[in-house]
Structure 1
Amino acid sequence: MFDFIYNIDIWAAIFFILGFTLVIIEMFFPGFGAPGITGIIFLFLGILVTAETLTDVLIMLAIILVVLGIALAIILRSATKGRLSKTLVLSDSLEKESGFEGTEDLSGFLGKKGVALTVLRPAGTAEFDGVKIDVVSEFDFIDKGSKVKIVKVEGRRIVVSKID
C-alpha cells in the first residue's frame, strides 16, 4: 500500500522539501503569491515523480494536506498567542486621549450662522464664515440663499435649520 515511499528519489525529495517550504512561507506572508503557487507546483511534481497508481496519488495528497493542516494550525496558534502575535497583530489603539481623531473636529461650527449655497433637500452645501460645508437640513427643504444656523454636529454630519 505504501510502496511509493520506496520510489522517492533525490528529485522527488527536493520537490517535496521545496514545496512544503514555499507553502509554509506563504502561510507566514499570505496573499497567494509566488511562493504559494510555486510550492503547490513543486508538491504536484513530487507526486508525479513518485506515485505509480491512482491510490498512491490519493494517499500522498492526503498526507500533504495533513502536514500542511498541522503547519497551518501551528502558525495560527502562534499568530494568536505566541511570538508571531506580537509582530502580526496591532496592539495599539487609536484613542482620542492619545491625540488621535477619526475625523476632524467640527464642533466649533455649532451655533454658527451662514447661507445655503444649494437647495437643501435635505442635503446640500452651505457657507459659514467663508467655509463651504456639506450639511443636512433638520426638518424641511431650504431654498438656495436662505439663512441657516448649525443646530447639531455629529462627527462629519452637520445639521442646520432655517433662520426666519
Structure 2
Amino acid sequence: MSVINLLTSIDPVAAVCFLLGLVLVIFEMFHPGLSFPGILGGILIIVGVVLTAKTIMDMFILIILVLAVLAIALTIVVHSATKGHLSKVLVLSDSLDKEVKNTLDDDLEYFLGNEGVTLTPLRPAGSADFDGVHLDVISDGGFIEKGRRVKISRMQDRIFVVKEIE
C-alpha cells in the first residue's frame, strides 16, 4: 500500500485523533512544562496509528510521517526560542550589573566579625545563628560541634568562614 493510498484511507475518527494529537503535542512544545497536552496528544496519535494501520508497514509509515511533522514543528519551536517570540518569553534577558553585585557583597560584609552559635555541627559546613539570622557557614578549621560560639572571620565566594571562639 502506498503512502497516498494509506493517507486517503484514514478513518475520520483516526484523522481527528491524528490532528488533535499533533496540535496538542505542538502546543506542548510552545508551552513546555504543562505535560497534560503533550501526554494526551501522544495518546491520541497512538490511537490514530492503531485505528489506521492495517499492517506493520502501515504503522511504520504513519509513525515516520508523524515524526516528520513533529520534527518540522520542533525546528520552528527551536528557531522561535532562539530568535523569535519565545526567546522573549522563555529566556531571561535581564542581568545584574556590577553595581548591584557590589551592593550585595557590601551587604554581606556587614556580618564580618559577628559572633554567633552553631545550629548544626560544622563538618566543615553547617548553619549558625547570628543575632537571630540563620546563615550557612563553613568552618575555617575542622569539625565544630553544635552549640559552640563562632565568629565570622572572612567571606570566601559569598560563603561565610567561621572560627570557633575558645
- TM (norm. structure 2) is 0.71
Which segment is superposed worse, 152-161 or 37-46?
152-161
Quickly say closer, same or farther: Cα 1:99–1:139, change in 2 above 3 A.
closer
**Rounded Cα–Cα distance in structure 2 between residues aligned with 1:67 and 1:136:** 54
**Rounded Cα–Cα distance in structure 1 between residues aligned with 2:107 and 2:96:** 16
Q: Secondary structure at the match of 1:93?
A: coil
Instruction: Kindly indicate whether residue 156 of structure 2 is the aligned counterpart of residue 160 of structure 1.
Output: no
Match runs of 1:77-96 below 5 Å: 77-95=79-97
Aligned to 1:105: 107
Q: Contact conserved, 2:118 with 2:150, CA < 8 A, in 1? A: no
Aligned to 2:52: 50
Please report how far the alpha carbon of residue 49 of structure 1 lies from its aligned counterpart in structure 2 after TM superposition. Answer: 2.4
1:115-146 CA distances to partner (integer Å, 9 max, x unpaired)? Answer: 76789776677776x55766555447789999
Quickly say closer, same or farther: Cα 1:100–1:21, change in 2 above 3 A.
farther
Match runs of 1:11-26 below 5 Å: 11-26=13-28
Could you tell me the percent identity over the aligned residues? Answer: 45
Please report how far the alpha carbon of residue 14 of structure 1 lies from its aligned counterpart in structure 2 after TM superposition. Answer: 1.4
Q: Report which of the two structures shows the higher radius of gyration computed on alpha carbons.
A: 1
Quickly say closer, same or farther: Cα 1:103–1:12, change in 2 above 3 A.
farther
Q: Which runs of 5+ in 1 are unaligned?
A: none
Which segment is superposed worse, 83-92 or 151-160?
151-160
Q: Contact conserved, 1:103 with 1:156, CA < 8 A, in 2? A: no
- TM (norm. structure 1) is 0.72
Q: 1:47 corresponds to which letter in structure 2?
A: V
Quickly say closer, same or farther: Cα 1:45–1:105, change in 2 above 3 A.
same
Instruction: Kindly indicate whether residue 71 of structure 2 is the aligned counterpart of residue 69 of structure 1.
Output: yes
Q: 2:160 corresponds to which letter in structure 1?
A: R
**Rounded Cα–Cα distance in structure 2 between residues aligned with 1:79 and 1:50:** 34
Q: Contact conserved, 1:4 with 1:52, CA < 8 A, in 2? A: no
Q: Secondary structure at the match of 1:153?
A: strand
Q: Which runs of 5+ in 2 are unaligned?
A: none
Q: Secondary structure at the match of 1:157?
A: strand
Q: 2:108 corresponds to which letter in structure 1?
A: L
Q: 2:153 corresponds to which letter in structure 1?
A: V
Q: Contact conserved, 2:138 with 2:159, CA < 8 A, in 1? A: no
Give the RMSD, CA atoms, in angstroms. Answer: 3.8
